[in-house]
Structure 1
Amino acid sequence: MSTDDIYEVTIVGGGPAGMYAAFYSGMRAMRTKLIDAKEELGGFMRTYPEKLVWDVGGVDPIRCEVLIDKLEKQAKTFDPTIVLGQEIAHMERGEDGVFTITAKTGERHYTRTILLCAGRGMTQVQKLDVEGASRYELTNLHYVVTDLSRFKDKVVLISGGGDSAVDWANEITPLAKEVIVVHRRDQFTAHEQPVAQMRASARVITPYHISRLYGSGDRLDSVALEHSETGEIQRIEVDEVIVSHGFDRDFGELLKWGLKKEDYGLTVDPKMRTSIPGIFGAGDFITYGSKVRLIAGAFNDAVLAVNSAKLYMEPTASDMAGVSSHNARFFEKNKAILSE
């Protein structure tokens, strides 16, 4: 290992927190590496590319896939090293304080600080636990929506009660002939405003769950819904079914590093410091008292974490990067843009 092999910060995870951290660490003139287990950046956002995102400050409603592209372009502003297709497994710290993190491929990465932005980890969709469900997965039973146009003028049944189920209902209702939302409880766990919008425009059936599927060949044409308490059955004809029951999360070896954690995420303090000095966290992977689980919240986490990493290495450094309008890192870039 030579000095050239050592990065100042290595970001593990390429979702919104990781990508923004790569950009902001560039603002702080830090030598940065970004590693993701998948072959593309975007993290969990890749599971809903067609969904409209409304709650990023100063940005008009934007398709998720477009937002990913913009974040990726921004992340590359200061030319960080980006490594894809490597799931990080092991970590050790040398006597000189340098961390060695090793991927399952065997490749080693050397860094003075680590920023964990693992999001929801390696996610696996929770499939519908009903006999014969797999028969329809290649036709009209969906776990991920990638093309809204397929639902135009159709009867669409959505099973689920979280944010994704409710958001899909609101996205599809203007296109579909009818949207029916089925949830096993009366109360939805999604945010209040989208739930109110859904109840005003879609047909909501609670507390019911899908108990049986009917179809001809590989196409589903109706479902049986069972009341969660009484067992009453009603059968509904459908053209398309979307199952949004969440995802199983797998963080691999990261949670075996001895880091303090809670039921939902890695424990950090208000400055995004974990229980191991030199290791920081941001995004959905972490939890703290005032945690905001929005993309905008992930950006703020990333800024705080990078600032803490900088101060860990250089205690006399400024608390934060200079704002972009006065930051020397942008002078030449601004000239190039203005001259176009």
Structure 2
Amino acid sequence: MNTALNKQDHSEPKIVVIGGGTGLSVLLRGLKHYTKNITAIVTVADDGGSSGKLRRELGILPPGDFRNCIAALANDEDLMTQLFQYRFRDGSGLEGHSFGNLFITAMAEVTGSFEEALYESGRILQIQGAILPSTLEDIKLCAELDEGSQTRKVQGESAIPEAMLPIERVYLQPDEPQAFPPALQALLNADLIVAGPGSLYTSILPNLLVSEIAHAIRTSQAKKVYICNVATQPGETDNYTLEDHVQAIEAHTHFVDDIYKLNEGESLTGNQLPKGYLFDFVLANNNLDFPIPDSMSHLQAVLPPHANSQGYTVILADVVDNMYPWRHDFVKLANQLMGWYKTIRQ
């Protein structure tokens, strides 16, 4: 029985997904039906709500995005989601906290480390895959925002979209956190690396700003796909096109590539860009038959490009949720992604 299981695992593609928030869990819900060889690499920059409070009071890495991933990869997804997302409405010290956050926090206390807590939580709950932090360091996400005549600096992941100003760049403090080694190994061994969907500046880029993570993606022989959001996000990507999303990733990862080279003792020659884009492929929605309702007018559909892109290939597919057309449909998304991967792998 073990031999058959191992054979099955080896025959299934090794997929690494990168991100955070609800977008990552949407993708995981669909992917788990195609392979058990899933590794989620998750941001630790979250500082809002229950996660932020636990982080400040107990010094633990923020558990919220990991909680979402555990629920998404669980066998009994519906029940686990209800349980892990259950939020206490009252009670001294409990109000506002979700059960899943407290579960992971308690597991970290019992096992002695956050990474061991994730492993044991996954084992006990029999999730279909592995969940890893991009770094174990206590990082803070910061941003420089365009105020017109001047630049405003903002600290904290939750404060960035609240400012409702165009984002010039985001960066980490400390600026060179060490990547979690198992995350690097997963990237180097992957058959397919996927970033997104999810908040561009506050869920995806915090992982890519860890220079060793970006370097491992660039070095990996895997197929690399960025899943662009179906709609813009207020305070982050207002009025963004697909090209704007891609160029934001390129601008930020070019900078961290330079940091990596300097740390490795390499010299920088002028403003030389790395060869190729970080992600060779961009998956974008092309089904615009379900317009965003007037009640959500602060959102805009990210339209498919009118012309061929330079340096990367756009995969156009129907991946939108028909009822909530500002979100991805997890079944459609997984079907389209894995159908495309099967085609190019042959």
TM-score (ref. length: structure 1): 0.30
Q: Which structure is higher in strand share?
A: 1
Q: Which structure is higher in helix share?
A: 2
